Structure 1
Amino acid sequence: MRKRRAACLSVVLALTVLSGCGSSGSSSKPSASPTAAATWKYTTLDLGIPDKVLKAPVTGRVPDGQTLHVGVTLKVSDEAWKKYGHGKSPSQTAGDVGKELGVSDQTIQKFQAYLNSAHIQAKTSKTRTNVTFDVKAGQAAQLLRTSFVTHRLNGRTYFTPDPNHPPQIPEALKPYILAVTGLESYSMAPKSRGPLGAALPGRALPARAARCIQRFPQRFASHDRVAAAYGYNQLWNQGWHGENMTVNLVEMDGYDRNDVANYVACTGSHIQLSNVNLGATEPAVGAEATLDIQMLAGLAPNLRIVDYQEDPALLNTGNGADSWAALNNALQRIIDNNYDLSKNPAGSIVSISMGGPEGYLSPSIMQAIDQNLRILTVAERMTVFISSGDCGAFGDRTYGSLDVSFPSTSPYVVAVGGTRLGFAPNGTRTQETVWSDRSNLSRCENQWGSGGGVSKVHQRETFQQAPGVDNRYSTTGGREVPDVSAVAIDLPIYYRGRWVSSGGTSAAAPIWAAGMALVNQGLLARAHVFCFGPDTLYHALSVAGANKPYTDVVAGNNLYYPATAGFDLSTGMGSPNLPALFNTLVANPG
């Protein structure tokens, strides 16, 4: 376990962290001779695939022409991580950080030479921590001295390398490899967003016709009610609306600009919205991206939002690993686009509203994504908020089977659960309970409620200290989620020309991201510091004194874990009390 990093960082120091790091990131030809491949000694590449997955009955072979999206995650050494300390600026000069973080140019040349022996051109990330390439299954089988076979287990068909002939790689490359993804399809595709509710009263209008509702029915958590309930409006009154702050979104669908424009017009927002297209030719209009953007726009109305859009078709290939490769690719692009912090605003944030059950994911996928999340948090000084899932305590979507949602269980992120807010007739807040729904327990379609529980993969970090963290469920020492929570039901969004009800922890994550953007804006203005990482939120509780940075949610459950006084496995430490969180951090930045 690592010691808790300092919660906040001086902006003067932060601006030197990753300046000038790494290579160009573009595809390049190897400088080493491909004939060297013939002289390499080979060793087994262990992908960490569980025995039960490999031993399931073989049903066929993968066609040689099938495309595999392969990612090789390269290890960041312990020595390199030590240069970042615990929330302190690294000691080396700005231009050297990329070389310290990633592998050397010579090592990259070895990988390129090896791949070139199979006529594969690869792309290297700017931090030299990732190599990615697309390859036909037949080529990959030849390169790795294996074949790819299909299996069937528990009603699912998937492929792996031939268990009798595991993949082989050169011994010289193995010490640099943390994980390889894309060589199996057992991992279950990530899911996002709770279900859409019924449309609010009123007919659908032409795309460009704005229709604003002056006051939503009592049960709806409109942006102004949420802002008042959580104190966002008190930070607005200080002049902080998200100006010069950035939230990066990762999406597997698109959005209709007219829907966003209508929401922005009706809420008085002035967001700056831009897209980074990562492969979608025509991104499908989906409720997830629409929900994320509109939650941010309503609560941090002058925010800069960068939407990284992956190809939604990857969700429908039947290969869950493709979806995870796309998510990891998006994380790497955010890293590459922000590696020079002298050119980017301090205190940036990432919000992700997707995840999958730990029990149905390969170790390679989790290791690869974990390292990119660590780079974003530890090296690039961002806070990453990730929804904890919408299937209550049963992340594998089967009632009675306890599981938690990765990557919300990563130690480098803030896991966000979901609540239900109650309102009086005048729109003021009355109560807050765990979001959950027992009306249909046959199978979860993202409607059972706030994801939470104890990780079987990640150990609890030393920073996760709060009243209630030590509980009757914490006997294994696993990472506990969620860390915090926010409203996740009856949130009105403008979608496909009309107002509809939406929600899920997919909404709670960007709600928290908007709040942290406002807090960091205030900290930069008042104290010239900003805060980052999950450590920050536990640190705030430990030094709060009379302040209460979170509203403790003590009613309800997520179909298994009850809400209790203090930390619990339904809502974490609670929902935002943004003014108290700001006051705590400005007085005790860590």
Structure 2
Amino acid sequence: MRKRRTAYLSGLLALTVLSGCGSSGHSSKPSASPTAAVSWKFTTLDLGIPDKVLKAPVTGKVPDDKTLHVGVTLKVSDEAWKKFGHGKSPAQRAGDVGKDLGITDAQLQKVQAYLNQAHIQAKTSKTRTSVTFDVKAGQAAKLLRTSFVTHKLNGRTYFTPDPNHPPQIPEQIKPYILAVTGLESYSVAPKARALGASAPGRALPTRAGRCIQRFPQKFASSQRVAAAYGFNQLWGQGWRGENMTVNLVEMDGYDRNDVANYVACTGAHIQLGNVNLGATEPAVGAEATLDIQMLAGLAPNLRIVDYQEDPELLNSGNGADSWAALNNALQRIIDDNADKKRPGSIVSISMGGPEGFLSQPIMQAIDQSLRILTATEQMSVFISSGDCGAFADRQYGSLDVSFPASSPYAVSVGGTRLDLAPNGARTGEVVWSDRSSLSRCENQWGSGGGVSKVFQRPSYQQAPGADNRYAASGGRQVPDISAAAINLPIYFRGNWVSSGGTSAAAPIWAAGMALVNQGLLARAHIFCYGPDTFYHALSAGAANRPYTDVVAGNNLYYPATAGFDLSTGLGSPNLPAFFNTLAANPG
């Protein structure tokens, strides 16, 4: 995958909270169709569920009236992918992205005809790469010629299709289907990454009208982070995020008063919009609050669009529903940007789950959505690498990496701790990690990282240190880059508190990339995107050194080393050098 760029010919001056609701896509209602009378020939649909999961003892039957949230990810052909990326600008892209990327009218009609016979109303994405619908379990069982049963394994109860009667779909539509999700509940729900904001005893002293004039030494305030990473030098060029957009994917809400107070105290003038994809009033959580405030503190004139899914899905007991919701949010971002040209736009995601506890279709579906965002929407997608060190499944000693950070289309972001002098100046930086309690991770063990067992190492992942002793398996290595992840002050539930995690590191880099792209658009009418950009910047940087190499500490298993490593990737931002490198050699 090559680095991409685009041309752009061209003020967000006040905090404005906007609202959006509803869902995108085209509703496909049951109707008579020339293909509805087709004689279907059936074949097995492989859901990629591990044998141990299917062979666990059956404990019962799923009630017929249980609602399943089903997603069908449609394949994108190799020929279609070739039309995108590789340096093309949005102006050169065909107007109808769906026809260029998704399946054909005739192919989509076959899929719809199959669903219509079960009276299923489905929604198709604008790109024709995703179809989603809700269906009762009994109805789905008849459609797929199976039944749904419950199992129990290692204390967990979940459902799958009957292992003795695997689901069947027509041969005529199978070639168009990449993955089907929502037909099992074994996969664990994604976890948000926010650290410490709700913990007792972490409140910071407040004075001067709810603003702290100077934070104690160890706290990495937005001004200190900006100075450490060079954001303030880009501010000095007049680049503070004007006309740039970062899209967030969240499963909790935020208190507008908290955001307003943070914005007033830091002097930011963000524009903040909501796209509510779930609950009418999402519960206030630390995750969305942290993400928004990290962006506001470092790109103060940014446009932020917060895509909020239903937080109740995280507590539903069905992890697959949570992943379906996350993918629906990605598809909504794709749809919302399919016909809009916002050069240099970015996505930031601060949640994930262990590869070893996810079904193959879930990973395939989300991986394709990330590829579409990168290749066709031309966005960088920053995803936190996880807060359980080298053990994404939260059990010490069990190596695993977090998905979707492990996708080759993600920019995976690990975590560091900034060391600060009494005057707030940066004195050093080490891997963020904590060995104080290793019984079970509650997002406190440190920077996620390691080697994927699902995704192969992409061709762009070339850097000094990347050919390490852990690379023999040939898997994708994470993280790619890193940033501060502990002792970060946010305003939450009416108080200044200390928060962090790789949840903070991802939006820190997202804010930095927004400023860099703003500068590139102003200076050279181009912008850069995709994970390959970061490896290109290192190879092209020479004396510029676009990253600060973090060489001290470990993530409870993988040590920080000179060059690339599996705790902090290429290193933390040296934003002015990163900008200068890309301005001189965008690739």
Q: Name the TM tier (shorter chain).
A: over 0.9
CA distance in 1, matches of 2:161, 2:399: 29
Partner of 2:210: 211
Pick from 380, 394, 403: which aligns with 2:391? 394
Partner of 2:202: 199
Tell me the C-alpha RMSD between the 2 structures: 1.8
Asked whether 1:365 is paired with 2:362, we answer yes
Partner of 1:526: 523
Asked whether 1:300 is paired with 2:303, we answer no
Deviation at 1:98, TM superposition (A): 2.0
Q: TM-score, normalised by structure 1?
A: 0.94
Partner of 1:81: 81
Are the structure 2 counterparts of residues 91 and 84 from structure 1 closer, same or farther at C-alpha, using a change threshold of 3 Å?
farther
Pick from 436, 441, 445: which aligns with 2:442? 445
Structure 2 SS opposite 1:397: coil
Asked whether 1:320 is paired with 2:323, we answer no
Structure 2 portions without partners, runs of 5+? 11-23
Structure 2 SS opposite 1:433: strand
Asked whether 1:569 is paired with 2:566, we answer yes
CA distance in 2, matches of 1:406, 1:193: 13
CA distance in 2, matches of 1:277, 1:33: 34
Partner of 2:373: 376
CA distance in 2, matches of 1:194, 1:247: 18
- Tell me, yes or no, if the aligned pair for 1:420 and 1:487 is still in contact at 8 Å: yes
Partner of 1:412: 409
**Cα displacement string for residues 205-264 of structure 1 (whole angstroms, at most 9, x for unaligned residues):** 9xxx95000000100000000000000000000000000000000000000000000000
- Tell me, yes or no, if the aligned pair for 2:478 and 2:569 is still in contact at 8 Å: yes
Deviation at 1:37, TM superposition (A): 5.6
**Cα displacement string for residues 71-124 of structure 1 (whole angstroms, at most 9, x for unaligned residues):** 000001000001125232489762343212001122222222211211110000
Are the structure 2 counterparts of residues 441 and 48 from structure 1 closer, same or farther at C-alpha, using a change threshold of 3 Å?
same
- Tell me, yes or no, if the aligned pair for 1:57 and 1:153 is still in contact at 8 Å: yes
CA distance in 1, matches of 2:279, 2:35: 37
CA distance in 2, matches of 1:66, 1:29: 21
**Cα displacement string for residues 417-464 of structure 1 (whole angstroms, at most 9, x for unaligned residues):** 000001101110001000000010000001000000000000001100
CA distance in 2, matches of 1:215, 1:525: 34
CA distance in 2, matches of 1:284, 1:380: 30
Structure 2 SS opposite 1:463: coil
CA distance in 2, matches of 1:95, 1:223: 40
Structure 2 SS opposite 1:114: helix
Structure 2 SS opposite 1:372: helix
CA distance in 2, matches of 1:413, 1:5: 14
Partner of 1:177: 177
**Cα displacement string for residues 518-558 of structure 1 (whole angstroms, at most 9, x for unaligned residues):** 00000000011000000100000001011010000000000
CA distance in 2, matches of 1:304, 1:84: 26
**Cα displacement string for residues 293-326 of structure 1 (whole angstroms, at most 9, x for unaligned residues):** 0000000000000000000000011000000000
CA distance in 1, matches of 2:555, 2:301: 34
Amino acid at match of 2:334: I
CA distance in 1, matches of 2:534, 2:401: 21
Equivalent pairs: percent with the same residue? Answer: 82
Partner of 2:281: 282
Asked whether 1:346 is paired with 2:349, we answer no
Structure 1 portions without partners, runs of 5+? 14-23
CA distance in 1, matches of 2:92, 2:52: 47
CA distance in 1, matches of 2:487, 2:85: 43
Asked whether 1:356 is paired with 2:353, we answer yes
Amino acid at match of 2:178: L
Pick from 496, 499, 502: which aligns with 2:496? 499
Deviation at 1:26, TM superposition (A): 2.4
1:532-547 correspondence to structure 2 within 5 Å: 532-547=529-544
Partner of 1:20: none
CA distance in 1, matches of 2:419, 2:370: 34
- Tell me, yes or no, if the aligned pair for 1:549 and 1:580 is still in contact at 8 Å: yes
CA distance in 1, matches of 2:101, 2:109: 17
CA distance in 2, matches of 1:40, 1:484: 49
Partner of 1:335: 334
Which is worse superposed, 146-155 or 388-397?
146-155
Partner of 2:586: 589
CA distance in 2, matches of 1:366, 1:538: 24
Partner of 1:187: 187
Partner of 1:273: 272
Partner of 1:19: none
Partner of 1:309: 308
